[in-house]
Chains A and B, each alone.
Chain A
Amino acid sequence: MEPARLVQGNEACVQGAIAAGCRFFAGYPITPSTEVAELMAERLPRLGGKFIQMEDEIASMAAIIGASLCGAKAMTATSGPGFSLKQENIGFAAMCEVPCVVVNVQRAGPSTGGPTAPGQGDIMQARWGTHGDHPIVVLAPYSVRDTFDLTVAAFNCAEDLRVPTIVLLDEVIGHMRERVELPGQSEVRVVDRRRPDPSRTAPEDFVPYAHTPDLVPEMADFGSGYRHHITGLNHDERGRPFASPAEVDRLVRRLNGKMSLAAQRWGLFQEVATADAEVLVIAAGSPARSAKEAVRSARQAGIKAGLLILQTIWPFPAVKVADLASRARVVIVPELNLGQLVGEVERYACRGRGEPRVVSLTRVDTELFPPAQIYEALREVR
Chain B
Amino acid sequence: MATARDYLLSDALPHIWCPGCGHGTILGALLRAIARIDPPKDDVVMISGIGCAGRAPGYLDFNTLHTTHGRALAFATGVKLASPERRVIVITGDGDAAAIGGNHLIHAARRNIGVTTICFNNSVYGMTGGQYSPLTPLGAFATTAPYGQVEPAFDLCELARAAGASFVARGTAHHAVALTDLIYQALQNDGFSFVEAISQCPVSYGRRNKLGNAAQMLRWQRDNTVNVKAAAKMTPEQLQGKILTGVLHHAVRPEYARSYEQLVARLGAEREGKS
Q: What B residues does A222 contact at CB under 8 A?
A: 45, 63, 79, 83, 86
Q: What B residues does A227 contact at CB under 8 A?
A: 41-42, 61-64
Q: Is the CB of A24 closer than 8 A to any CB of chain B?
A: yes
Contact of B67 with A48 in the complex, beta carbons under 8 Å: no
CB-defined A-B contacts under 8 Å, sample of 14: A45-B260, A54-B107, A55-B107, A59-B77, A66-B65, A66-B79, A69-B79, A70-B82, A71-B83, A222-B86, A223-B86, A227-B64, A229-B12, A241-B66
Q: Is the CB of A74 closer than 8 A to any CB of chain B?
A: yes
Identity of the chain B residue whose Cβ is nearest the Cβ of A67 in the assembled complex: B82
Q: What A residues does B268 contact at CB under 8 A?
A: 46, 48
Size range of the interface on A? 35 or more
Q: What A residues does B74 contact at CB under 8 A?
A: 54-55, 58-60, 62-63, 66
Known interface pairs A62-B67, A92-B67, A227-B62; 14 further A-B residue pairs with C-beta atoms within 8 A, sorted by A's residue number: A45-B260, A45-B263, A55-B106, A58-B71, A59-B103, A63-B81, A66-B77, A223-B63, A225-B42, A229-B12, A229-B57, A230-B66, A231-B66, A241-B66
Q: Is the CB of B6 closer than 8 A to any CB of chain A?
A: no
CA distance A323 to B83 in the complex (A): 48
Most buried by A among B12, B61, B79: B79
Main secondary structure of the interface of B (DSSP, over half): helix
Q: What A residues does B63 contact at CB under 8 A?
A: 222-223, 227-228
Identity of the chain A residue whose Cβ is nearest the Cβ of B80 in the assembled complex: A66
Main secondary structure of the interface of A (DSSP, over half): mixed
Contact of B82 with A240 in the complex, beta carbons under 8 Å: no
Q: Is the CB of A26 closer than 8 A to any CB of chain B?
A: yes
Size range of the interface on B? 35 or more
Q: Which 6 A-B pairs have the closest CB atoms?
A: A66-B78, A63-B78, A62-B74, A59-B74, A67-B82, A231-B66
Q: Is the CB of A37 closer than 8 A to any CB of chain B?
A: no
Q: Is the CB of B17 closer than 8 A to any CB of chain A?
A: no
Enumerate A32-69 residues with CB–CB distance to B below 8 Å. 45-46, 48-50, 52, 54-56, 58-60, 62-69
CA distance A63 to B107 in the complex (A): 13
Enumerate B39-53 residues with CB–CB distance to A below 8 Å. 41-43, 45, 47
Identity of the chain A residue whose Cβ is nearest the Cβ of B110 in the assembled complex: A55
Contact of B264 with A64 in the complex, beta carbons under 8 Å: no
CB distance from B55 to the nearest CB of A (A): 8
Contact of A89 with B71 in the complex, beta carbons under 8 Å: yes
Residue-wise interface mask of B (87-109) relative to A, using a CB-CB cutoff of 8 A (1 in contact, 0 not): 00000000000000001101100
Q: What B residues does A67 contact at CB under 8 A?
A: 78-79, 81-82
